[in-house]
Structure 1
Amino acid sequence: MGTVATITTLFSILLGLCLPTKIEDGPKDAYVLVDSDAAFNCTVSLPWAILIWIMNDAPVLTVTPERPIITSPQFGQRNYTTSQTFTSELIISAVTLQNNATVKCSLQTDGSQQANLFVQVEGTLFFESKISSVVTNRSTDVICKAEGWNPEPTITWTINQTTVHSERYTTIKSPPSGHLYTVVSTLNLTLSAEAEVTCLAAIKALPQPKNASLYITVKPVFDSTVNQDQTWLIVAIVVPIAVVLLLIILAIVIAFCMKRNKHSESSYQDEIRKISKRKTLEKTVVDEKSSGLENFGMSSESVDDLIFPSAAPATIQADSQSRIENIYTLKMPVVPASNLGSLEQTVNQYMANVAIYPQKTRHVTAV
């Protein structure tokens, strides 16, 4: 069997060399999404001997009338034969961006024809802000973003399925990131009635453009004005009231702090006065107990006033207290011994009626 196949192949080659075989229809450019399958067709006239598929100048598949010779599992082949022609279909499975290349169909007797394989990436398409309503006859920007595409997609717009003129929107293309592109398109929209706004992104590998839509309603212009007026009115009322309340609270806090400080100072001074008064009173009581009896017979004009022995203080205090002690010291004049009994009775009777506080010095002259 091997010998017969070899002989048949050689016969076909010789026959192809003798007969005028040519390429009737060569491969065409293909635009394919990444991870999809790409297909190229090459139609030749009969009889033909050998057909070779070349990709970037490297043979990837050889076809003979008996069987194809495959060099890589990514490449495959299907046959379509008529009474006058033979068509070989090259199939490239799960293409990647690295498969962007020139594909060539070659006949040994009639040269070759070539085409290009373009592998493309479909990215995402979305609106940066989903607008649900606009004010009637007021300009609004609608932003559509196509992200992660290869090549850069073409962005167009429609309103109620009617194409928008390109002057009404602007498109900005960003530098590629890892062979992927981002495109941002901004539509300046002015509506007087509700509408469906659609953003479309197209590349040749897509049979239909990818789209994203918004259904936008229209609000009367007076609604917006009324809302703004109400907002300003509320602000104009609330802000002054808030300022007044803050000032009142601040004044109350300041008054409270001042009152508290004054009360603390007053309490401190009162305590000092009480302590001073209590010490003075105690000192007075002690001095009076030790000073003896008042001399009701003492005269302020007498030169012969003497200090009664029992009225002399037991101990002399510091200079700061000497003035107080002298105030309450009684000076007694010299009296005859025969009158001492009646004088002592008179002094005792008077001392019973004299108050301890406030203390005063009384000068009495005995006759």
Structure 2
Amino acid sequence: MSHFCRELSLLLLLLAHAQADNCLTAIVGETVQIPCSLNTEESLKTEDISVEWKTSEDLIVHSFVKGQDYWTNQAPQFKGRTQLFSSELSRGNLSLRLSSVSLTDDGGYTCNYHRSGEPTSRQLSQMCLQIAGRYSLPVVQGPASPVFKDHEVNFTCKSTGGFPEPKVQWSVNKELLQNSRRVNTILNRDSRGLYSVTSVLTVNVTGDVSVTCTVENDRLREKMTSAEIHYLIKAEKESNGVSGGTKVVVVLVAVLVVLVGLLIVVIMVLKRRKRKHQRPRTPVTNKDEESEAPLQQTQTRTTLNS
């Protein structure tokens, strides 16, 4: 019984993959053309034909009745987004153009054709439409502080705007990481249903390290890989103070500051002495000499009179 269940599960899985391979993939926000054609050698008169596109839930996507578009019964979510190739209708090209694709457009679509004079309409095609969103280029951020040997550090990878859920893979030193216990990945969805992914990798650093992050979209068969970031480890002894080279620079700067200060002091002293020697001297008058001057004049007069 268990063998039968395994065989049945495998069969269902293969059918699911086959259906996915036959689906037409459309990108969110872009325009897709869903093909439908009528094999005919004659030129068709558009006023004689009717075309109706429907979803697998029987919602009317687009109606064309005897030469003109018919909007009355169109489902609201498709209004303003559908178009037939009017110039191609006469050659049997009944394809549908669907713009501004969203996740709600995912599903099955049928193309039905009817010609005036024929008793019933014919289904010309049945198409599976699957919707995907492209993830942005992943960006990896590492620790802001230096990375030291034998320490655990976290690297964070972020990517947005994708669908369906992605696969996230990390590479460390160019080797694919196999230990998923070192990775914590969180998914969030925005108002449009698109995913944003944040994945955190914890690494025990034993040497210089480089990391990349890859976000894979299976539906688009697309892989987006971040730029590689590199971290050089630092010695543990440098974490508790300034490195030896930095200390030498600090000492040299301090010595230079002291020498410049001394030089400024010497220059100021020399300038002060120079100004002192250049100052003019005032003659000094001896009071005794001033008092003796009249006496000498009196003696001179007495001598002349005698």
User: TM (normalized to structure 1)?
Assistant: 0.43
Higher relative contact order (CA 8 A, sep 6+): 2
Rg larger in structure = 1
